[in-house]
Structure 1
């Protein structure tokens, strides 16, 4: 009985949240106003592209924003997207299921106006797969969608260390989209729970939403982004229970995300490029340095041989003179 009341309360709160959006946001239907009419008719606006590392929860977020269950299984499509890690195929890696770039439209949170959500494969796979991922993202956005309202850059709550893979991912995104991309980008922290236990755990470590946002902007994005990015904390895995705070936070941050998307002038993807992957570039630079070292070692060996011969001749001359 309590669970049913919790679910009913949750749905009522979502409806109230949407009413608030209608009163205070730009009309979502007109948010394609900066786009050519033929393009605006293909995909409803606002359009949101979810980017991030492999297994951070992009597909779960995509499904929640379209009003689906967080563990939605995309059975009706041959494309490998909008499926969560639980439904990976035998032999595939759990946590990184999406293999295609897919755009799907539907009502915001299941009850609002139509929006478009783009699910993408994750960064952080083997180099060849990552290069294929970049090519697919660039081809789809540049040749098909063309205009994007916002990019959602997803991190796990546990991404609190500046790892090599995270830095490479961010540099790759910067190389592909350019500096203007950051103005249309917002940070999403996945698995950031607001149940009582999780809140107490973070408080004991003096962590909260403000400190997490500062950490991502300062330590991860650093000099890459010319501005500090806004952050939302949409926990797609929270249970609809009697706890008030998780419902309030879900409502607060989905509202913030929608408002951000509706007020942003669309990003035109015509200039994005299939930039060389940062890790590929580093590997090539390393290989070049190795070749330079080999050439230097060869030159050094030749010089030593010349010196040895000259010393031998000098010794012979000295012997004759003596």
Structure 2
């Protein structure tokens, strides 16, 4: 109870410090956003102090449509004000894709016309901060634009008071970055705790809402900001589509060039193959001619060798014939020389004897004429005999 009174006094001090603009506001419009199953509807019921929205157990999404509820409450430190709480479907729901859900969440702007003062980004404190939580925050920034950051606070749900300090130590780098973008406007609440025991936690949330409204000079997020964000999304989408188109065109041209290069390569390979085949044929023909030439050269060498052999044989025969002839001539000369030697030794006696006998016979039987003819005949007979000998 003392804690609640301190929070109440703190809000009164803030109200006097920041002036009367918040006092003049008749209505505070708050939109709850976040991933599916983090407890947005339960938090909305706590802030409204009544069960206005259907809640469920677990991480499955119960809220399928953007809903709003208006109540009049006694805002701590101020007169009674109208409070508009708008509950939205959770992103990353298995029943629908994020684009469809984001379109539905976008309806919160027209349901809170002229626009919400505060966005409450709800994160489950019973689980580790995941990539889905980071993507949810980035998706909301993309949907609502840069002005979303100026109007957002963070509330962690499902955290037991005794686990707050331990939970703060477990903040990841990505979560710390989100909290820094939100000017560290964050608090916690355990929606499972009975409402009459959540006075301090609820007062902490009202304090953050109040500070956010005062920070923005009591202005709110407008439909113009939403349309500007939508226009930026469309422009970004067109740029992305153009980028993709250019990338596809570059890829198409690259593919066409690659196809052309491949075709040229195939043509070149084909020509190379044909040329190689021709070269192989020419090489085979050259080798065949070389083998033929070698065979002919070998044959010619063999013929020359054979001819040389025959010539040598003929020369040998000629020399042998010449030797034989020479030997024959020498033999004949030797024989002739022997004959003459013998004749020289024996011819004189026989010749003289035959001549004498011839002459004596002739002279005895014939007259003077017969003597002369007989001498001649006898001389011839002697010479013939010598030759025969």
TM-score tier after normalising by the smaller chain length: 0.5 to 0.7
Change (3 A) 1:291 1:52: farther
Aligned equivalent of 2:309:
none
CA contact (8 A) 1:26 1:263 kept: no
- Across the aligned residues of Structure 1 and Structure 2, the Cα RMSD in angstroms comes to 4.3
2 CA distance for matches of 1:293 and 1:152? 44
1:63 aligns with one of 45, 48, 57: 45
Change (3 A) 1:22 1:309: closer
- In the TM superposition, residue 141 of structure 1 has moved relative to its aligned partner by 0.5
Q: Indicate the structure with greater helix content.
A: 2
Secondary structure at the residue paired with 1:312? helix
Note the alpha carbon deviations across 1:215-256, whole angstroms, 9 max, x for none. 36x413638964533111122111479xxxx65742552343
Match status 1:268 vs 2:221: yes
Structure possessing the higher relative contact order (Cα contacts under 8 Å, 6 or more residues apart): 1
Runs of 5+ consecutive residues of structure 2 not aligned to the other structure: 283-389
Note the alpha carbon deviations across 1:151-196, whole angstroms, 9 max, x for none. 1111011343341x223212211112222321221110000111xx
Match status 1:309 vs 2:267: yes
2 CA distance for matches of 1:121 and 1:109? 28
Match status 1:104 vs 2:104: no
CA contact (8 A) 2:123 2:133 kept: no
CA contact (8 A) 2:44 2:87 kept: yes
- In the TM superposition, residue 117 of structure 1 has moved relative to its aligned partner by 1.2
CA contact (8 A) 1:182 1:225 kept: no
- In the TM superposition, residue 145 of structure 1 has moved relative to its aligned partner by 1.4
Change (3 A) 1:192 1:108: farther
2 CA distance for matches of 1:171 and 1:292? 30
TM-score of the two chains, using structure 2 as the length reference:
0.55
1 CA distance for matches of 2:84 and 2:221? 16
Which segment is superposed worse, 16-25 or 262-271? 16-25
Change (3 A) 1:147 1:291: same
Change (3 A) 1:171 1:85: same
- In the TM superposition, residue 146 of structure 1 has moved relative to its aligned partner by 2.7
Match status 1:145 vs 2:113: yes
Secondary structure at the residue paired with 2:85? strand
2 CA distance for matches of 1:250 and 1:116? 19
Match status 1:84 vs 2:35: no
Which segment is superposed worse, 21-30 or 99-108? 21-30
Pairing of 1:174-189 with structure 2 (within 5 A): 174-189=141-156
Match status 1:47 vs 2:38: no
1 CA distance for matches of 2:65 and 2:21? 29
CA contact (8 A) 2:116 2:220 kept: yes
1 CA distance for matches of 2:204 and 2:8? 15
CA contact (8 A) 1:64 1:236 kept: yes
TM-score of the two chains, using structure 1 as the length reference:
0.65
Pairing of 1:134-213 with structure 2 (within 5 A): 134-142=102-110, 145-163=113-131, 165-194=132-161, 198-199=162-163, 207-209=166-168, 211=169
Equivalent residues, number: 266
CA contact (8 A) 1:67 1:108 kept: no
CA contact (8 A) 2:151 2:221 kept: no
- The structure number with the bigger radius of gyration is 2
Secondary structure at the residue paired with 1:60? helix
- In the TM superposition, residue 85 of structure 1 has moved relative to its aligned partner by 1.4
Match status 1:116 vs 2:98: no
2 CA distance for matches of 1:46 and 1:252? 15
Change (3 A) 1:262 1:312: closer
